[in-house]
Amino acid sequence: MDLPEIGSTHFRTCPLCEAMCGLRIEVKGDRVVSIKGDRDDPFSRGHVCPKAVALRDIHEDPDRLRQPIRRTASGWEELSWHAALDEAARKIHEVQREHGRSSIATYLGNPTVHNLGAMLFVPVFLRHLGSRSIFSATSVDQLPHMVAAQQIFGHRLLVPVPDVDRTDFLLILGANPIVSNGSMMTVPDVRRRFRAMRERGGKIVVIDPRRTETAEASDEHLFIRPGTDALLLIAVLGELLDDGARLRHLEDLCDGLDRLHEVATGVTPESSAAHTGVDAETVRRLARELRDAPSAACYGRVGTSTQAFGGLCQWLIIAINAVSGNLDREGGIMFTQPAFDLIHGPKAMAVGRGRFGRRTSRVRGLPDFASELPVAVLAEESREAGEGQIRGLLSFAGNPVLSTPNGRRLDRALASLDFMVSIDPYLNETSRHARLILPPTSPLERGHYDVAFHTLAVRNTAKYSRPVFDAPAGAKHDWRILLELQNRLAVLRGRKRLKNEAIYRTLRFLGPEGLLAIGLRFGPRGGRFNPLSNRLSFKTLLHHPHGVDLGPLQSCLRERLPAAHLRIDLAPVRLVEDVMRLRQTFTNGESAPEDGTLSLIGRRHVRDNNSWMHNFDRLMRGKPRCTLLMHPADAEARGLCDQDTVTVTSRVGSVSVSVTVTDDVMQGVVSLPHGYGHAREGVRLSVAGVHAGVSINDLTDDRAVDALTGTAAFSGTPVTVRSAASGSSRA
């Protein structure tokens, strides 16, 4: 008689977005039976979003690659790991030997920061690769946060987050945390937290060109014209300064208050209103509410970062919090004290402060940050001939063809490279250009600790997740792929054999868990855990599968500042100088276009995750989500009705898409979701024939960047919209 299969329960953190939700995963044999929220997780307390359930779909997806493949004249063929790694290292070495180290570029996608092994081994690999052509998803949207943090506090990771569990007034610009579960602000179950805020008498105001899901759950929503947030923020800042800045406990630590007065001079609520669409009295009221609330926080995210003045926006948001007395204060914006500390932890694992503008891109002269170049220049750096031209690419967990501006131009650039290798589980829109694809294990086959997002969380916690399944025989984790490539490159370059072998063997022995244990042991909370001292070790985490609660955020900025930067500069020179560009851009006249041009903005859905989770039926059910949102007045002016097919055209290209007529978008604004566009030839994804959608980045312009930071300026792309049937617009 066959015995029933015995099941097991695993507790882990979801690695798919920034929220760090705790999961309870039931397993029988090699199958996932159920995935639910872990009610005993001290941070997420049982909350889970629909994406987490799809972890099973990722693990079982027949489209997910499980063996290296090589592109040949007759199609893709499988090959052994030994042969694939040998060929990848040899080709990288050949290109670098002929054209220089920086002729091989790297692109690091968003999943890199959701992966313990990648976070700890990618920096080591990049140092050994020796290329200065480094690109990542950072310059797609979050770079302004890091530039502002580096300029103000002296370190790119000193990004303050709203203390949402204790604040009384929350002002949100260009962010939709109910859908994103926070972003540059790790906060699971935002809806419950916002409800609790309102029940205790707090208030939430959302400023956004679209009435988002977060706006629906707030007390007030205000429309704003895309790209004008910096003007609004300066006007609010000026009102606060005129009323008298209240730096509270940080007064003896802050410099630049006098320069902030100069920045705000001449930008009044009335002058800003002509451009932003937010009237002067509302601006004054927002300033009063920030000033008078017992505690308050101002928070801005993607919409304020991905525009021509993204760097200014993130700086001004911090300045507003400071001068309203809400920086490093309970209920304001605060800093975490993570157990694995990327700032004050072991030197070998610490992240650099982030030098800004040490060099510029070869073709356009855009600045680098923390040794990375803006991704908006990747295509031109590959296509423009000359010394320093990119000839090859290693892409890691990224799909820049769909996630970076002017994807079609990048498509052509990747097709022209001498060599490309992708470390990726899918044959997607980017990896289809590779000579080799090296697929790593699934998320359920590797251990997990959120190195990055414990640094951005709204509460101090720590949690390690054991693998749910053993990796299949012969499979390789992504950190092992990087380590094997690194070792092979060292051999090909003739480096000292014994030294290289020692490094290779040590890192292979330690693995991510060994490095994590060292980082925890010698971090600020290292040692044996007890509830009074909040000290812990890797062993502690193994005995606490639900995670360890280290308490609410505390005032700690003085301790968190790096040793070389012991004061706060509220008005950094480079940021102050960029205000002149803002002033020159806007005149006193009405800024809304009058030629029928509309402003295109992006959006996301709670069941979307950038470009790589559209392949699962459970997430794609329901009405099509890849539609163009358009205000009724704009639709009427063009003779359009709901569900008509329209052609949307920008400087760089056109797409055809169904229109959804709704007053949830501001008049003059249209919106497409990001991450779609899976119908390109050569992908191996089931979604390509069902929910392919169109890519917003076939419309966004790689020439449009924040000149200060180099960040892609996606928000507010000028477009025209016409009926696809008539072939003309009636604007």
Q: Say yes or no to pLDDT of 532 above 70.
A: no
pLDDT in tens, 653-668: 999 999 999 999 999 9
% of residues, the chain, pLDDT over 90: 88
pLDDT at 533 (0 to 100):
59
Question: In the numeric block, which tokens belong to residue 376?
Answer: 């908006």
CA-CA distance, 696 to 629, in Å (whole number)? 13
**Can you give the pLDDT at residue 729?**
42
**Residues 459-467, mean pLDDT to the nearest whole number:** 97
Domain-wise residue ranges, the chain: 69-141+341-552, 161-334, 593-723
**Region 490-505 average pLDDT:** 89
Q: DSSP characters for 567-588?
A: SEESS-HHHHHHHHHHHHH--S
Structure confidence at residue 592 (pLDDT): 55
Q: Provide CATH code, domain 69-141+341-552.
A: 3.40.50.740
Mean pLDDT, rounded, of the chain: 94
Q: 298, exposed or middle or buried, with CB in 10 Å at 0-12, 13-18, 19+? A: buried
Res 641: pLDDT: 97
**In this model, does residue 527 exceed pLDDT 70?**
no
pLDDT value at residue 689? 74
Mean pLDDT of 375-384: 98
Q: Is 2 exposed, middle or buried (0-12, 13-18, 19+ CB in 10 A)?
A: exposed
pLDDT at 727: 53
Would you call 264 helix, strand, or coil by DSSP?
A: helix
CA–CA gap between residue 452 and residue 200 (Å, rounded): 31
- The answer on pLDDT for 284 being more than 50 is yes
* The CATH number, out of the four listed (2.40.40.20, 2.60.120.260, 3.40.630.30, 3.30.43.10), of the domain defined by the range 593-723: 2.40.40.20
**Pairwise CA distance, residues 320 & 358, whole Å:** 29
What is the share, in percent, of the chain residues with pLDDT greater than 70? 96
What is residue 2's predicted lDDT score, i.e. its pLDDT? 46
When pLDDT is averaged across residues 219-235 and rounded to a whole number, the result is: 98
pLDDT of residue 731: 36
Which of the listed CATH numbers 3.30.70.1140, 3.40.228.10, 3.40.640.10, 3.40.430.10 matches domain 161-334?
3.40.228.10
Consecutive H or E run containing 37 = strand 31-37
Tokens of 480: 């092992």
- For residue 728, the model assigns a pLDDT of 46
- Across 406-418, average pLDDT: 98
Checking if the pLDDT of 173 tops 70, the result is: yes
pLDDT at residue 529, as a whole number = 52
Model pLDDT for residues 586-629, shown as the tens digit of each residue = 874 445 556 789 999 999 999 998 898 999 989 998 899 999 99
Structure token digits, residue 176: 């939709």
Of 383, 406, 397, whose CA–CA distance to 430 is shortest? 397
Q: What is the pLDDT of residues 73-101, one digit of tens each?
A: 999 999 999 999 999 999 999 999 999 99
Which residue in 668, 672, 681, 634 sits closest to 653, CA to CA?
A: 672
